[in-house]
Structure 1
């Protein structure tokens, strides 16, 4: 499926077609920069930001890495937060409950650089701080859920 946005300036294609092309370029050994759509990685990566992807070669994953993977037939860009029974656990930074469990073979790429839409800054996602702050944010999910519920009450 392809089409154009209302302003006719942006071409719209299906996720399957888009990510098939991303996969092809990664398989050729190229780095691929993609735009993030959605808010599941907020507050660290926002809708409209972009990331530079490198093909995943099956090596060890650094805790807190940002991964592009396939989960139940859909593409997800979420953080690696753990492993259980051989499965990789992914979670979006903005998600308070949801986690995805995938096989290591479902990992497509690892993000190496984050390009915020609102600045010229380039954030190296391999730096320990970038990974650990995301993991810390994940670890306080229960506290974040409680705060979110309290905000709704007040």
Structure 2
């Protein structure tokens, strides 16, 4: 949005209003592009990157899918890393410990395209290779924690 002087104006919208609109558009059958905020999906998706979403309609979700879901009243964009006892287990790529456990009814959308903020073009993220790469990254969390701890110890000496 620009004013008459040509300067950009920004409008602050609450998360509740923002995601209500995202959900409305998805329910109308539209694809929605959202900006990712935070570091939880690094190294694959950075703060400020955008992703294109399609509404989740109950289709089987392969592990490694990037999904938008609601967890305890908050919206999260994380990777599906497991299915346990009827729940879907989500984790951010940049997160070394935490998980979200959600019901299928909490899944809002599935991301299929990633638009890095510092590159031209789009990267498909719902195909096999990006999903497997993300799952492999998830499964080496313990090794990543050990390496970070080791690095912090060696920097102190």
In the other structure, the counterpart of 2:17 is 17
SS in 1 for 2:68: strand
Could you tell me which runs of 5 or more consecutive residues in structure 2 were left unpaired when the two chains were aligned: 1-6
Structure of greater Rg: 2
Q: CA deviation at 1:125?
A: 1.0
Q: TM-score, with normalisation over the residues of structure 2?
A: 0.92
User: What per-residue deviation string (whole Å, max 9, x for no partner) do you get for residues 36-92 of structure 1?
Assistant: 000000000000000000000011001100000000000000000011000000000
In the other structure, the counterpart of 1:139 is 139
Distance 2:125 2:8 in 1: 34
Q: CA deviation at 1:99?
A: 0.4
Q: How many residues align?
A: 148
| Aligned alpha-carbon RMSD (Å) | 1.1
Q: CA deviation at 1:8?
A: 6.8
Distance 2:120 2:8 in 1: 26
Could you tell me which runs of 5 or more consecutive residues in structure 1 were left unpaired when the two chains were aligned: 1-6
Distance 1:118 1:9 in 2: 22
Distance 2:71 2:8 in 1: 32
In the other structure, the counterpart of 1:70 is 70
Distance 2:138 2:86 in 1: 20
Return the structure number with greater strand share.
1
Distance 2:149 2:9 in 1: 40
